[in-house]
Amino acid sequence: MNFELNENQKMIAQMVRDFSEKEIKPNMKKWDDEEIFPVETIKKIGELGLLGIYIPEIYGGSGFGYFEYVTALIELGKVCGGIGLSVAAHNSLCTGHIYYHGSEDQKKKYLPKLASGEWIGAWGLTEPNTGSDAMRMKTVAKKDGDHWVLNGSKNWITHGLSGDITVVLVRTGELLDSNGITAFIIEKGTPGFSAVKIKDKFGVRASETAELIFDNVRVHESNVIGEVGMGFKQAMQILDGGRISIAALSCGVARGAYEASVKYAKEREQFGQPIANFQAIGFKLADMATQVEAAELLTFQAADLKNRKQSLTKEGAFAKLYASEVAVKCGNEAMQIMGGYGYTKEYPAEKFLRDARLMTIGEGTSEIQKIVISREILK
Ligand code: COS
């Protein structure tokens, strides 16, 4: 296997670094402090071609593969986990669900708008009382002529408020029937569909999170994605791919924390010399570097399977589990290396740590990844 970045990856990495210097770094403290979701910045990321990165050009996307996608998210994660999360959720969840499971008409109608950033996408699976146990969802849709009528709520939905379009998973059959959940496309402004922003998050504060409310929302049957009843299995496949994106983002956050630690350790002097000279610090840096490399290898392994259209349930979970835990460890060690300074917002460690904590929770907790992995091993 060749582990070198290909020419497209090199170009994308440089493009994201240039964009981050100009558009993200000068503003990210304000977004983080004030929990601002910078819609205009997200749209500019769309202009770079990063909101439909693996969507074919015929649907307005960039036509790249998952290596390029992973590279873009690693670079964003090194700077701001919140912006990275928004890009990951937009690409993998909403856009991905329409691309992989939608009809030709749905793809032609929605993908060009999503890929260009003209529209921002949201995806709703989780509910206030069903997170890990996604199958037990209570939001329902009942058929009424050629429409479906949706009632219920969804929670922790990225872009729930600003999203122009939401793909939502809803019960259309009996409780616990794995063929009783259906995916619908809901456009912003549909009567009865509303959202409330969730405030005071610990990390990824530049990424918008909301609760969705469905109060007799009428949706035409042409907005059903794929077959009625197949939504749960579609969602599981979407999460298999989505977990690559959270793994990639975690690698970026981990690498960002590691690189900031190296810089600090070379500059900070104690006992008459840079603290990097002390084995206690050197060993921490060695552990961080090794873990980041291993996390990236697992992530690119999962991306390679996705590029080759192979099953990646286990490998996606390996990558997501390991990379997200490494991101937390690296954020934590960065804070320890920076000591009192690391404990303040003047230094980057605390934001890396806060952003990293979401990675072990969103798109399936670490514990869910272990369920997925153990079931795959034992089946
Ligand atoms: N791809 C395709 N189909 C899948 C699948 C996958 N990766 N995983 C499960 N399925 C299918 C199963 O084959 C099963 O089909 P049958 O009923 O026809 O046999 C069906 O889906 C139900 O699967 P299972 O019995 O494993 O369902 P469980 O209720 O036990 O749930 C877990 C499985 C826990 C893995 C699932 O609920 C899950 O991923 N939970 C976490 C959800 C999550 O990540 N939420 C975060 C969202 S933030 S964006």
User: How far away, in angstroms, is 92 Cα from ligand 1 center?
Assistant: 17
On whether the CB atoms of residues 17 and 75 are closer than 8 A, the answer is yes
Provide the pLDDT for residue 149. Answer: 98
For ligand 1, say whether the CB of 376 is within 6 Å of any of its atoms. no
Residue 83 has pLDDT above 90, yes or no: yes
- Across the range 261-289, mean pLDDT stands at 98
Ligand 1: residue whose CA is nearest its atom 11? 233
Closest residue CA from atom 25 of ligand 1: 178
Q: What is the structure's pLDDT at 320?
A: 98
Q: What is the CA radius of gyration of the chain?
A: 21
Test site for ligand 1: of 129, 209, 233, most ligand atoms within 8 A of the Cβ? 233
CB 147 within 8 A of CB 221: yes
Is 96 touching ligand 1 by the criterion CB < 6 Å?
no
Under DSSP, the state recorded for 90 is: I
Residue 135 Cβ contacting ligand 1 at under 6 Å? yes
> Does 361 sit in the ligand 1 pocket, CB within 6 Å?
no
Give the atom of ligand 1 at the shortest distance from the alpha carbon of 240.
7
Residue pLDDT, tens place only, 36-65:
999 999 999 999 999 999 999 999 999 999
CA distance 332 to 353: 6
For residues 203 and 222, the answer to whether their CB atoms sit within 8 Å is no
Residue to probe by mutation, ligand 1, list 133, 135, 208, most atoms within 8 Å of CB: 135
DSSP tag of 177: -
Q: What's the rounded Cα separation, in Å, for the pair 114 and 41?
A: 15
Task: List pLDDT tens digits, range 350-363.
Answer: 999 999 999 999 99
Residue entry with tokens 């610990």: 202
- % of the chain at pLDDT higher than 90: 99
- Backbone φ and ψ of 195, nearest 5°: -145, 150
Give the mean pLDDT of 199-204.
Answer: 98
- Ligand 1 centre to CA of 321 (Å) is 17
Inform me whether the pLDDT recorded for 263 exceeds 90.
Answer: yes
Q: Tell the burial category of 167 from Cβ atoms under 10 Å away from its Cβ (0-12, 13-18, 19+).
A: buried
Nearest atom (ligand 1) to Cα of 365: 44
Task: Please write the tens of the pLDDT for every residue from 147-188.
Answer: 999 999 999 999 999 999 999 999 999 999 999 999 999 999
pLDDT value, residue 332 = 98
Between the CA of 56 and the centroid of ligand 1 the distance, in Å, is 28
At 213, is the secondary structure helix, strand, or coil?
strand
| Ligand 1 atom at shortest distance from the alpha carbon of 178 | 17
Model confidence at 335: pLDDT above 80: yes
The answer to whether 286 and 337 have CB atoms below 8 angstroms apart is no
Q: Which atom of ligand 1 is nearest to the CA of 135?
A: 29
Going from the Cα of 153 to the center of ligand 1, the distance in angstroms, rounded, reads 20
Looking at the annotation, which residues are catalytic?
A: 363
pLDDT tens per residue, range 208-250: 999 999 999 999 999 999 999 999 999 999 999 999 999 999 9
Average pLDDT, the chain: 98
Residue 146 reports pLDDT greater than 80: yes
Q: Model-level pTM greater than 0.75?
A: yes
Read off the pLDDT band of 19 (50, 70, 90): very high
Residue 1 has pLDDT above 80, yes or no: no
Question: Does the pLDDT of residue 114 top 90, yes or no?
Answer: yes
